[in-house]
């Protein structure tokens, strides 16, 4: 009987331990690769259109470099979107970046008329060198380098057009279920930047976030911008009922008798988006926020969710930029 019990105990232990031996512990991080071994991926060379098109780039040190468009796009996609994303999402990002770059090539900004683009994300698109990206990726560097190269070369020369003109291919990190019509954020109606459903959710890191301040800190910050506001008594009475935009975010709200936009509150209190609610007590004021970014155009995490559903990069782009076409056009002179 003891021998039977011992055998049963051994089998029970194997039942629970064998999955750990074969597959290892599960990763707690949503963005960590699931593979236990790093795949081998051969990078495809840049396509002829991106290779033969040169773009002038103002670098961080102030110098201007002429480089093949494909090389520039690789650096942008590496900086703008996690390399762990689905390849079709990365392709969609590459097309958005190419469209943006070609618009700038045709009309260099006043900030740097000697270069079509710069590497400052507050002015143009984010940018990272291959060396810096490889340092961030560690042992996955070779795989991610090839993966992004394939995303760029796999869309060689493709741009997004509306009525034959390059679109303003704006994008952001994640939506709270729906993107926002451009007119609700920037005041200008753009036919291809209308609100659409966006499928990302709780799988997005920090999709829900909170910002908490004391009533004293809130009063000081808000009065610096709006000294006419009346912020006295119970803080729960400082806030009116918000007006919501088409995506459910805060369009405007009365604070201390002064009506401000959700965008201004987002800036004043460093909120990740305008999709927020406010709770206030005598001790603290809390913003509960969903999503990240301005909410207009392509949601990057939404693009990844659509790619996981089997959508191609063309379908993703036409989902977020309504009424566009995808084509190749003759690039402007560098």
Q: Is 148 exposed, middle or buried (0-12, 13-18, 19+ CB in 10 A)?
A: buried
Q: Are 202 and 228 in contact (CB under 8 A)?
A: no
pLDDT in tens, 90-109: 999 999 999 999 999 999 99
Give pLDDT, residue 23.
31
* pTM of structure: 0.86
Residues in the chain: 334
pLDDT in tens, 11-34: 333 333 333 333 333 222 345 565
pLDDT in tens, 37-96: 899 999 888 889 999 999 999 999 999 999 999 999 999 999 999 999 999 999 999 999
pLDDT in tens, 229-252: 999 999 999 999 999 999 999 999
Q: How many C-beta atoms surround the C-beta of residue 116 within 10 A?
A: 26
pLDDT band at 6 (very low <50, low <70, confident <90, very high): very low
296 vs 107: which has the higher pLDDT: 296
CA 306 to CA 304: how far, in whole Å?
Answer: 5
CA 294 to chain centre: 10
Q: Looking at the predicted structure, is the pLDDT value of residue 259 above 60?
A: yes
Residue 73: name the closest of 99, 98, 108, 105 by CA: 98
Q: Looking at the predicted structure, is the pLDDT value of residue 157 above 90?
A: yes
CA 305 to CA 200: how far, in whole Å?
Answer: 6
228 vs 17: which has the higher pLDDT: 228
Residue 289: name the closest of 237, 252, 236, 250 by CA: 250
Q: How many C-beta atoms surround the C-beta of residue 34 within 10 A?
A: 8
Q: How far is CA 140 from CA 90, 188, 287, in A?
A: 17, 42, 37
């Amino acid at each position: 009987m003891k021998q039977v019990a011992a055998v049963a105990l051994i089998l029970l232990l194997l039942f629970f331990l064998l999955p750990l031996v074969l597959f290892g512990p599960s990763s707690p991080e949503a963005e960590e690769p699931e593979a236990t071994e790093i795949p081998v991926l051969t990078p495809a060379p840049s396509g002829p259109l991106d290779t033969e098109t040169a773009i002038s780039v103002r670098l961080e040190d102030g110098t201007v470099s002429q480089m093949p468009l494909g090389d520039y796009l690789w650096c942008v996609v590496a900086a703008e979107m996690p390399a762990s994303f689905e390849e079709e999402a990365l392709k969609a990002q590459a097309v958005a970046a190419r469209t943006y770059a070609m618009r700038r090539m045709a009309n260099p900004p006043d900030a740097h008329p000697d270069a079509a683009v710069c590497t400052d994300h507050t002015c143009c698109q984010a940018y990272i060198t291959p060396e810096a990206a490889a340092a961030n990726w560690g042992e996955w560097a070779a795989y991610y380098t090839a993966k992004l190269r394939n995303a760029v070369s796999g869309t060689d020369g493709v741009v997004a057009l509306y009525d034959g003109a390059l679109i303003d291919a704006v994008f952001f990190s994640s939506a709270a279920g729906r993107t926002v019509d451009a007119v609700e954020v920037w005041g200008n109606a753009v036919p291809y930047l209308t609100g659409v459903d966006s499928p990302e959710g709780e799988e997005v890191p920090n999709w829900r976030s909170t910002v908490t301040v004391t009533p004293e800190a809130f009063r000081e910050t808000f009065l610096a911008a709006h000294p006419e506001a009346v912020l006295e008594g119970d803080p729960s009475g400082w806030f009116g009922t918000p007006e919501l935009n088409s995506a459910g975010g805060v369009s405007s709200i009365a604070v201390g008798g002064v009506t401000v936009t959700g965008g201004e509150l987002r800036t004043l209190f460093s909120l990740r988006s305008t999709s927020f609610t406010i709770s206030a007590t005598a001790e603290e004021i809390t913003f509960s926020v969903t999503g990240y970014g301005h909410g207009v155009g392509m949601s990057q995490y939404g693009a990844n969710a659509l790619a996981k559903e089997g959508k191609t990069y063309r379908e993703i782009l036409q989902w977020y930029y309504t009424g566009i076409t995808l084509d190749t056009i003759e690039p402007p002179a560098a």
